Amino acid sequence: METINIHEAKTHLSRLVEKAARGESFVIAKAGQPMVRVTALDTPTAAQRQRIGFLSGRISVPDDFNEMGRETITEDFEA
């Protein structure tokens, strides 16, 4: 993530706002110390971006999943 000096941020505010609106987050620093992170309002939070387990409880895997299609695979590759 890009870090921008507070003086530069004041000078180029319009350009930086457009950048954030396009989804390009950045940090504003004062004297080299990060102060704030600027992101678009519709940027998802870390909790909203979670992908692992997002279908938990909505699908089920059959018990014989690892055996499904075994006959066809055996015929195709061992014949």
Kindly report the pTM of this predicted structure: 0.52
Best CA proximity match to 28, nearest among 2, 1, 4:
4
Query: Which pLDDT score is estimated for 52?
Result: 81
Confidence of residue 4 (pLDDT cuts 50, 70, 90): very high
Domains of the chain: 1-43 (3.40.1620.10)
Query: Which pLDDT score is estimated for 42?
Result: 79
DSSP string, 10-77: HHTHHHHHHHHHTT--EEEEETTEEEEEE--TTPPPTTTT--TTTTTTT----TTGGGTTHHHHHHHH
Q: What is the mean pLDDT of residues 39-46?
A: 76
* pLDDT tens, position by position, 47-68: 667 778 878 888 888 888 888 8
